[in-house]
């Protein structure tokens, strides 16, 4: 899962949103490094990623990408999930994507100093350049994948995968829709146990 999906699966509290967003920015043991709610959000993020990695529909989704992109299929799939979520946000979220993003930004803006590590640096770009809203458009996904490629040592040109959102769209969207309700239910269960 990528930024939008992790924020969508979080609780509405600042600590849960921060922790779920920060999951990819925090490595290693959590111990007492963060406030309990942020720690719980990071733990939820990690559990959601493990659940996603083991889901048969996600495996089928990635099989479409693997021939061209190998082990980068996982990263590409995560970003593509945000595209399909953004495109159908009102159906899954019961509100517009714009309303959700505005609310999340308002919460995070009030707690920027609590954002862990590099997230303090990345978040203003995410907000000001409207990354979450841009995921609705194929061009926004292409930009997100290009940004990711730039951060990876091998510079794999992940943005070249964008043609799958046209060529294989029917299958990918079908796999996403078969998977996403399962991860929503799982995230809800995890939140109640953390």
Q: Which helix (H) or strand (E) holds 93?
A: helix 89-93
CB atoms within 10 A of CB 170: 8
Cα–Cα nearest to 192, from 22, 44, 2, 28: 44
Q: Is residue 166 within 8 Å of 160, Cβ to Cβ?
A: no
CB atoms within 10 A of CB 127: 16
Is the predicted pLDDT of residue 193 greater than 90, yes or no? no
The pTM score is 0.95
Mean of the per-residue pLDDT values for the chain?
Answer: 95
Q: Quick: pLDDT tens for 102-142.
A: 999 999 999 999 998 889 999 999 999 999 999 999 999 99
CB atoms within 10 A of CB 107: 17
Token duo for residue 26: 């925090």
Is the predicted pLDDT of residue 153 greater than 90, yes or no? no
Q: Which helix (H) or strand (E) holds 36?
A: helix 36-54
Residue 106's domain spans which residues? 3-193
User: How far is the C-alpha of 150 from the C-alpha of 168, rounded, in Å?
Assistant: 25
How many domains are contained in the chain? 1
CB contact set of 144 (below 8 Å; sequence gap of 6+): 2, 79, 82, 131, 134, 135
User: How far is the C-alpha of 60 from the C-alpha of 63, rounded, in Å?
Assistant: 5
pLDDT band of residue 28 (cuts 50, 70, 90) is confident
């Amino acid at each position: 899962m990528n930024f939008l999906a992790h924020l969508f699966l979080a609780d509405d509290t600042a600590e849960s949103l921060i922790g779920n967003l920060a999951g990819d920015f925090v490595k290693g043991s959590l111990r007492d490094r963060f406030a309990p709610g942020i720690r719980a959000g990071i733990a939820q993020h990690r559990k959601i990623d493990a659940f996603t990695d083991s889901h048969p529909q996600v495996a089928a989704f990635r099989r479409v990408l693997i021939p061209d992109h190998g082990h980068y299929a996982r990263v590409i799939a995560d970003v593509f999930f945000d595209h399909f979520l953004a495109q159908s946000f009102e159906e899954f979220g019961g509100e517009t994507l714009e309303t959700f993003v505005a609310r999340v930004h308002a919460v995070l803006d009030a707690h920027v100093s609590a954002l862990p590590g590099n997230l303090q640096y990345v978040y203003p770009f995410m907000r000001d350049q409207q990354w979450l809203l841009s995921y609705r458009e194929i061009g926004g996904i292409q930009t997100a994948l290009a940004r990711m490629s730039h951060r990876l040592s091998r510079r794999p040109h992940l943005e070249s995968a964008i043609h799958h959102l046209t060529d294989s769209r029917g299958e990918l969207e079908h796999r996403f829709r078969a998977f996403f309700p399962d991860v929503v239910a799982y995230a809800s269960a995890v939140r109640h146990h953390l």
